[in-house]
Amino acid sequence: MNQKGFSWKSSLLKEIDFYLVTDSGLSKKGTLSNVKDAVNSGCRIVQYREKDKSTKEMVEEASEIKRICSGRAIFLVNDRIDVALAVDADGVHIGQDDMPVETARKLLGEDKIIGLSVNDREEAILAEKLGADYVGLGPIFDTATKKDAGEGIGSLKIREVKDAIKLPVVAIGGINKDNCESVIQNGADSLVSISAVVCSDDVKRETKYFIDMIRRNKKA
């Protein structure tokens, strides 16, 4: 592997805490507003997840998100490798049923970040073998945000996965202010809380809440 690309990615991914995933269907103020507010609050990683817009609209919006994130946050596109390539995003996040990691790597190159959704220890170990740069583990708790997510696996499973791989583990699924501390205490490097942030009237405040909580618990 290109050592320069590897070390660049590793050092960037070590810095993440709160991970913003956009959702235009849930957002009160719109995707671009959410990204701006989150990045201004110190969010260091943004995933553009959009299922309802045309490719043209997505490319336009992704270009704008890239501009907002430039030099301040990692910018990934969910699933759509064509959109990521079109705007030269920092990488992609893909699911178990999306394009295989090896194919995505061939298209994107060694220097781009690839995150893979996993549900358990075995999938996480395989993700590492296939060359993913981090895993998105979940759903940790039951969630209404993603209809096909399945039942929550519980925060104790995070430690199991964390002990089995060297990659950063991002926890996702049903995470909110009431249960987020257990997620970090059980070893997650970062977490996603979609509805708690994008449904809020004050995205800056909510993002800051999660960043402070994560940093506090990582130090403890």
- List of residues 6+ apart from 61 with CB closer than 8 A: 31, 32, 48, 50, 53
Residue 88 and residue 102 in contact, taking contact as beta carbons nearer than 8 Å: no
- Measured between alpha carbons, how far is 139 from 122 in angstroms, rounded to an integer? 15
146 carries an active-site annotation: yes
Q: One of 117, 155, 190, 200 is an active-site residue; which one?
A: 117
Which of the residues 146, 162, 204, 208 is marked catalytic? 146
The SS3 call for residue 202 is coil
Residues tagged in the binding site annotation for Mg(2+): 79, 98
Residue 116 and residue 97 in contact, taking contact as beta carbons nearer than 8 Å:
no
> Is 14 assigned a catalytic role?
no
Q: Among the options 36, 44, 49, 204, which is catalytic? A: 49
Asked about 49 being catalytic, the answer comes back as yes
Q: Residue 56 has which token pair?
A: 């043209």
Tokens, residue 11? 């050092």
Cα separation values, 191 from 35, 105, 128, Å? 16, 24, 19
The binding site comprises 47-51, 78-79, 98, 117, 143-146, 174, 194-195
The CA distance from 95 to 88, in Å, is: 20
Residues with a catalytic annotation lie at 49, 117, 146
